[in-house]
Chain A
């Protein structure tokens, strides 16, 4: 008994709070409709409806809860009816029911629907019974199918329109372009490069001259020298710089460079092209000494 009473009270409290929430949201919805009628948008109305439906759902859940006793078994009997104002009742009902009198009671404590409504409901039930179980089942199924079809169509439409809306915004970059640009910067793919076929060592007269620089050097390479290096070649070798103070010792990087430059000449013994910086003959003689005049091949290494 005690337990049931406690349960009843607890469930009543829960129900009360739910109903209060529902009332509030209904009230705000009505306010919204009345006041903001001009600038009300459909999504906003839908939001309110969604809120109401959510609250009704929770109310249903509370009612169905296992701990909730069947309210159907409870009966409310008015004990005292008086035409006087009842302050307590006023407070509890927030001023809506000031008097617990004969007018108020039939409305508030009613359990049956209105007579007209009752009539309609009776008619509906007789109609439904008349159709028969199978036909009814078929009708139910077709209704379900139509609803699901409609839902599918709506969701597909929504999905397509969403992606279509996003697509123009999304393409702010093109991965193919990224790759092309990176390749261009990294090793010149797509840029007109005139890397000569074969070795790119000196002595490639076929190079298209890009200004005086290349033309100058190619001209330079074509000069063939035999014997003493008497050619005046205006360019210097950076080797000198690295060689400073330590003749014979050189950073290996530079060494490789010069070696590569000197590769070609060995293939063409008559061409002493690898001489990069040689001044006048007299200087050379001074360097090499007279007896070495024969082997006047200057090699910088």
Chain B
């Protein structure tokens, strides 16, 4: 006969990992709130069900995305143009290490989670992201739309995911610039392949281009966002062609 282990069982404490405390991170999600989960480590008791959100309290957030690329020698002109077009702030560079984890279930399609950590900002939380399948069908929508859940986590995220059964599928290093215009986020970054697994120092560039991404994280149903994105993309037109690229087409 099977019995379920109740979480009230003591003695787990030393075996427990520090459970990831989840808290909202505005700059990562562009100002939106994320779910909040607090697990009480002392009593090993979770709050009763009514307070227990998995997705509670937040609306379904969608990510609107436009992508393009720019060759290395034209990067400077693109950066100048973006500095002129975007909000006035200090030019922000980032160096991130992203790992993609897969959980293969009985279903054909594995469950994908993306864990990202900052390599140049000490103390920044790790970022865990779920991206759904792109919503197809609406030809008038100018951007790629997919369901998106973002949370910030503590550093032991990879251990946690491993224990959950996820396995790392691939990883890369992203180095580039970040711009913002209102709720739109523009990232211009270069992807580096990691030659020795786990060692982020030995990297090589994947191509001679920088990937340019224009993204907005907004509640579902706000298609006017994609029009704004398209107008912004027009202004970058001869330098970069930002368009909706379906990843399934590139498989």
Contact = CB atoms under 8 A, between A and B. Distances in A.
Interface residues of B, number: 72
Contacts, number: 210
Interface residues of A, number: 76
Contacts of B15: 232-236, 277, 279
Interface in B1-22: 1-7, 9, 11-12, 15-17, 19
A280 B16 contact: no
Interface string A168-179: 001111110111
**DSSP majority for the A interface?**
loop
A99 interface: no
A298 interface: yes
Interface in A234-290: 234-238, 240-248, 251, 253, 256-257, 259-261, 263, 276-277, 279-280, 283, 287-288
B108 interface: no
Nearest to A211: B198
Given A178-B69, A236-B16, A173 B102 contact: no
Given A172-B239, A188-B100, A192-B193, A251 B162 contact: no
A222 to B, nearest CB: 15
A288 B69 contact: no
Interface stretch (A35-43, A44-52, A122-130, A199-207): A199-207
Interface string B35-79: 001010000111111001010000000000001111100100110
Interface stretch (B23-31, B82-90, B167-175, B177-185): B167-175
Contacts of A245: 45-49, 52
B5 A240 contact: yes
A173 B106 contact: no
Contact of A243 (B1, B4, B107): B4
Contacts of A214: 162, 168
A201 B104 contact: yes
Interface stretch (B117-125, B227-235, B243-251): B243-251
Given A172-B74, A279-B12, A300 B5 contact: yes
A260 B104 contact: yes
A257 B45 CA distance: 22
Nearest to B168: A210
Contacts of B165: 201-202, 257, 260-261
Interface string A203-236: 0000110110110110000000000000011111
A276 B159 CA distance: 13
B216 interface: no
Contacts of B163: 217, 235-238, 276
Given A235-B163, A245-B48, A301-B4, A172 B70 contact: yes
A277 B11 CA distance: 11
B191 interface: yes
Contacts of A277: 5, 12, 15
A243 B54 CA distance: 12
Given A185-B172, A196-B167, A201-B165, 20 more contacts: A177-B208, A178-B68, A178-B241, A179-B250, A181-B191, A181-B207, A193-B170, A195-B102, A213-B162, A235-B15, A235-B163, A236-B17, A238-B163, A241-B39, A244-B7, A244-B49, A256-B107, A260-B103, A277-B15, A300-B4
19 contacts: A173-B70, A173-B240, A174-B71, A186-B247, A191-B170, A191-B191, A194-B197, A217-B162, A235-B159, A236-B16, A238-B164, A241-B19, A241-B39, A242-B54, A244-B46, A247-B6, A280-B11, A292-B3, A295-B1
Interface of B: 1-7, 9, 11-12, 15-17, 19, 37, 39, 44-49, 52, 54, 67-71, 74, 77-78, 100, 102-107, 110, 158-160, 162-165, 167-172, 191, 193-195, 197-198, 206-209, 211, 238-241, 245, 247, 250-251
